[in-house]
Amino acid sequence: HILLLDVAAWLTLWVFGTSLVPFLLCAVLLSTVQAQAGWLQHDFGHLSVFSTSTWNHLLHHFVIGHLKGAPASWWNHMHFQHHAKPNCFGKDPDINMHPFFFALGKILSVELGKQKRKYMPYNHQHKYFFLIGP
């Protein structure tokens, strides 16, 4: 559906021109395409769509390279850093990009984690994630 929405957006501009309504419709369609392609490449990057890593790598390179316009090596590098130290300032590139919107201090996440360590069985989270995860 991502490719169909992409084609529909460009056909909308080609057929109806660039007046306000077709332009806004195209913007909505392309925004949806970019958001969906972003999550799809994320799943391919985690090797979680196909049972073989070859297909996941191949389609990850296609989606992020052709639909998103970014190199897969850049995403892998940044995402590996994110998973190595999530929500740690100076280590997690996701929060280093937007510190004012997503964080409430440089040590808050560490302090909260230490407080909850005695209550949360973090070493068993793979067993209960499906209950509280997305």
Residue 24 pLDDT > 60, yes or no?
yes
Query: What CA–CA distance (Å, rounded) separates 33 from 1?
Result: 9
Report pLDDT digits (tens) over 48-93. 999 999 999 999 999 999 989 999 998 988 888 888 877 776 677 7
Pairwise pLDDT comparison (41 vs 104), residue with the higher score: 41
Query: What CA–CA distance (Å, rounded) separates 119 from 103?
Result: 23
Residues in the chain: 134
Query: What CA–CA distance (Å, rounded) separates 44 from 65?
Result: 12
Instruction: Identify the sign of the CA torsion 124, 125, 126, 129.
Output: positive
**Helix (H/G/I), strand (E/B), else coil: 71:** coil
Cβ neighbours for 93, distance < 8 A, ≥ 6 positions apart:
78, 81, 82
